[in-house]
Structure 1
């Protein structure tokens, strides 16, 4: 099992209920195929750096999960088939990134703040 982070940009025309349904769809797909959800973080509506399909905003969602390495190809197919997904990006997390994300979620200082202040 590897650690991954998935960022998805959904079309901004989704209602709040549709946005939650889309999130539930992908989290269920991951758990049904042997993965485990670590953390989910819906960022909400944000401006895009450049227009995608003539849209200048998108609904952002970040998901951290554990899954076998062969699973990402199946998830990629599901993301590409969904017409509400504008873009997606997988990131493989090493042990330091997993540790950093865990400390960040729990509110423990990550060390980066001290370097910036000092």
Structure 2
């Protein structure tokens, strides 16, 4: 059984930026991919972690993983924006083969409420 390829971008943000700005970066890159015609499969903030070696004099970084699907042209748009951003200290996009990652349901979202309603209906 063959699976369509998808892309995973892991990027590291500077550790000294505030939480609200981290959220704005998550939203900015997700919206950028949607505008470029890609489908965002998953967007996970992995948290602040120690780097294996200093990058731009930083010993820690905020890791973010972004899974997306598209024709491949959207990757250049995303990486150019990350390259120009002062808050992104490192990024890497890889093409993945295999089953698509299961989308995470964000708490409080419409999908989460629908999932809770379905679970309650099946319990009855």
TM-score (norm 2): 0.76
Q: Does residue 15 of the first structure (1) align with residue 18 of the second (2)?
A: yes
More helix by proportion, 1 or 2? Answer: 1
Distance in 2 separating the partners of 1:9 and 1:17: 16
Q: Does residue 73 of the first structure (1) align with residue 96 of the second (2)?
A: no
Equivalent pair of 1:2/1:68 in contact (CA under 8 Å): no
- Show the counterpart of 1:87: 90
- Show the counterpart of 2:36: 33
Equivalent pair of 2:42/2:68 in contact (CA under 8 Å): yes
Shift of 1:61: 0.3
Shift of 1:27: 0.3
Greater shift, 63-72 or 4-13, is seen at: 63-72
Shift of 1:95: 2.1
TM-score (norm 1): 0.79
- Show the counterpart of 1:111: none
Once the two structures are superposed, the pairs formed by residues 33-72 of structure 1 within 5 Å of their partners are: 33-72=36-75
- Structure whose alpha-carbon radius of gyration is higher: 2
Distance in 2 separating the partners of 1:38 and 1:68: 14
Shift of 1:81: 0.5
Structure 1 gaps of 5+ residues are 106-118
